Structure formats: C-alpha cells, structure tokens
C-alpha cells in the first residue's frame, strides 16, 4: 500500500493489504456486510428503509470509500450502488465486467479494491452507526429529495452519502462560504462577523468549516443574526473538532446543520480536511476568503470554488499583514474579486434576492442586553432585578451571550461587549 492509500484509510481503520483481494474474498466480505444482522439493525436505526438493497448498498459505499474517491464515484454513477458493489466483488472477466470504455479502467478498480476491502467488514462500522442513532444524525443519499443538488458539480468526486445533524434545507446551495485563517486577527474577525451577520439576516446561509478563527466568527455572527449556518466537518458529526467549539456545534445543529461525508466516530485527518474543502465550495453559491496566510487551507477551498466556476472573492488587508498574504495572492494571481463590503458579495451573487429566514429575536435576550453595561460589571442578581427575569434565566442567557462574544465575565460580574 502506498502512502496515499494509508492516508485515505485513516488511523481509525485497519491498514489495507498490499495484495489485491481475490474476487472470492471480496464476494465473501460483501456478503458478510450485507447479511450481518447487527449491521442491518444499526442501519435501520438511522433509516427505516435501510433494509432495501439500494439504500443498504449506498450506505456501504459511503462507509468504505473516502471522501472524494473518484473511482468509487464513477462506478456508482455508471452502475448504481448495488451493481457497482457486485462488480467490484465479482472482478473483471466475470458477469460484472464493464462493457464499454467509458467506465473506470481495470487498474483503477483493482487499486480501489485494495482501499475498500479492509472496510468490507461490519465490525468497524457498528459503533459509528449506533452513535449516529444516539445523536440523531441523518443519512442523506443522492436519491433523497433533500440531497443538495449543487454537489453534483463535483462530478465523480461528489459525495456518495452525507451525514447530517440539523435541517437539510440549509444545504440547498444558495449559501455563502466565509472561510479564513484559524490564527485570525481582530480585523479579520470584525470583517467576518459583519459579513456573516448581515448576509444571514438577509436570509443567506453561511457555510464554513467550524474551525477556530474566521470560521467560528462567521458561524457565531450568523446565529446572532437569527440566520442559518452550516458547518462542514472533516470528522463525524458526533465528535466536535475542535473540542472548544462543542457548544457552538450544538447551536448550529439546532438552527442550521452540521454535515460530514464520513460516518460518526471517524476522526478528522489532514486528508479529510482537504477533502471537505471541496464540499464547502460545492454547497455555496460563492466563496469569500476573509483572511488567509500564504499556506492557509482556505486557499485550497478557494481553488475548489474556482475549479467549480463559482464566484470567488477575497478581502484585502494591510500589505504588511502576513494574515492577509493569501488573500492578496488570490487577488493578484487568481482573478478573485476584491470584496470590501456586503454589497460586493451581493454583486458576486448576482443580486438575486433570497427568502428571509431570520428568526424572531428572543425578547428575554433583548431585556438582558439592555440591563448589561459596557463599563460597569453587574452580577446575576442585579441583572435579574434590572431585566425582570429570574436569576436562573439570566445565568442561562449570559452563557449564550458569552459564547457569542456579546458579554464578558470578570471578578465583579458581567459587562456588555460592543460588536
């Protein structure tokens, strides 16, 4: 197995054998998965129709193939999930042999067998399927009406399945990707917050990667505006990464969506972060890089957006700022549009109106915000007196405000933060 294959397999699954499994071995392994009672019961716990061959086999493909596996994608597109599995298990030269030159070459499928064979085992997948049921994750397949049509632009590298917590309507494809550096500056966070808040208030879904820095700022601003936001994850939707965003992810799942191509329990890896970047671009009508260094992963997302023919924008920064060097490179070398305001983003999107999805602001939150002061710290009891809310309610809302960056706690109490 070469290094790429080891990376694709990931650390949480057994390494692939060097030799190509025989058709008999592949058939036995496939039969074992398809007929395993525990596997089927766990699958039905997520989707009641998982006993149907087409759904079951689409699920299997989603478990055995890494995100962006073009060979698996081409096979499933050409043959369908069930026939593609049968062909892979039967081998070339049998009844499953492709009949025309447009289908994947024998060598590519042979290499694919080496990647997929170790995962044709129900055991490694049981815990993840059960975890999905526990957290209420949904399995979306390309045949589902909720499947986001925009990902079809990825061709053979489109997802074979999506795992989702939240509202699938958030994946409709009219969103805006706001991405940028983890080690962001106050300037970058200010811009990301302004853009995300205003766009979300207008009804645009904010799409990002859930990371620290620009991503997290964009998600939080969208939530504060009462809008929808989508976090595209490199690991399972049941395991928050970074762990410091666990509460943020819960809020996103409650009002937007957490989405991943890998099953619950699967760890994020460098390979999967790069693969998920193409999905961020595909789920968005435009991609805006707010702040990025020369080697930022956001440039990878920008490259996918350009390859898909989606509008690409970059926010300029000080010429002395290394945090904006990547944005300047996009502007100079890759024909990204210079974005300095939300109006510029609207122009990239063609000015098409969207239906507003802003939620009504919590009146209790308004009362608490009025009771807070920028300069004077106040305790929970005083805030309860000033707002007319119970102390328990005040303390619960203060936690939300702190997570949003709207309030800060000190030894003397709580203060408001101007944003």
99-136 pLDDT, tens digit per residue, is 444 444 778 888 888 899 999 999 999 999 999 999 99
Mean pLDDT of 74-80: 93
Query: What is the reported pLDDT for 418?
Result: 57
Is 413 or 218 the better-scoring residue by pLDDT? 218
- Give pTM, 2 decimals: 0.78
The mean pLDDT of 289-307, rounded to a whole number, is 91
pLDDT category, 325, cuts 50, 70, 90? Answer: very high
CA atoms within 13 A on the CB side of 318: 8
Tens digits of residue pLDDT in 348-365: 998 644 444 434 456 778
**Locus of tokens 């962001």:** 184
pLDDT band at 42 (very low <50, low <70, confident <90, very high): very high
């Amino acid at each position: 197995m070469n290094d790429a294959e080891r990376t694709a397999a990931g650390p949480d699954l057994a390494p692939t054998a060097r030799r190509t499994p025989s058709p008999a071995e592949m058939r036995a392994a496939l039969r074992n998965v398809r007929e395993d009672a525990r596997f089927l019961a766990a699958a039905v716990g997520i989707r009641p129709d998982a006993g149907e061959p087409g759904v079951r086999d689409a699920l299997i493909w989603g478990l055995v193939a890494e995100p962006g596996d073009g060979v698996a994608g081409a096979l499933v597109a050409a043959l369908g999930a069930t026939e593609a599995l049968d062909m892979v298990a039967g081998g070339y030269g049998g009844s499953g042999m492709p009949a025309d030159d447009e289908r994947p070459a024998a060598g590519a499928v042979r290499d694919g067998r080496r990647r997929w064979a170790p995962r044709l085992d129900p055991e490694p997948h049981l815990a993840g399927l059960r975890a999905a049921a526990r957290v209420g994750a949904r399995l979306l397949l390309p045949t589902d009406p909720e499947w986001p049509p925009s990902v079809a632009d990825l061709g053979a590298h489109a997802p074979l399945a999506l795992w989702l917590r939240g509202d699938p309507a958030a994946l409709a494809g009219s969103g805006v990707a706001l991405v940028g550096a983890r080690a962001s500056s106050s300037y970058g966070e200010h811009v990301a917050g302004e853009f995300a808040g205003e766009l979300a208030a207008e009804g645009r879904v904010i799409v990002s990667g859930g990371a620290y820095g620009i991503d997290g700022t964009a998600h939080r601003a969208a939530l504060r505006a009462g809008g929808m936001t989508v976090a595209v994850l490199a690991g399972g939707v049941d395991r928050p990464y970074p762990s410091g965003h666990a509460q943020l992810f819960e809020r996103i799942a409650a009002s937007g969506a957490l989405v991943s191509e890998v099953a619950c329990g699967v760890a994020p890896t460098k390979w999967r972060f790069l693969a998920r970047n193409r999905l961020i671009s595909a789920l968005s009508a435009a991609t805006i890089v707010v702040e990025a260094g020369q080697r930022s992963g956001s440039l990878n997302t920008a490259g996918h957006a350009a390859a898909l023919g989606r509008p690409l924008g970059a926010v300029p920064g000080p010429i002395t700022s290394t945090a904006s060097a990547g944005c300047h490179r996009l502007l100079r070398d890759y024909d990204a549009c210079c974005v300095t305001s939300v109006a510029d983003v609207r122009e990239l999107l063609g000015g098409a109106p969207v239906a507003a999805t802003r939620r009504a602001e919590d009146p209790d939150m308004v009362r608490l915000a009025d009771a807070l002061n920028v300069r004077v710290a106040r305790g929970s009891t005083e805030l309860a007196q000033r707002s007319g809310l119970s102390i328990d309610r005040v303390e619960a809302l203060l936690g939300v405000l702190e997570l949003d960056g709207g309030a800060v706690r000190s030894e003397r109490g709580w203060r408001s933060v101007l944003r």
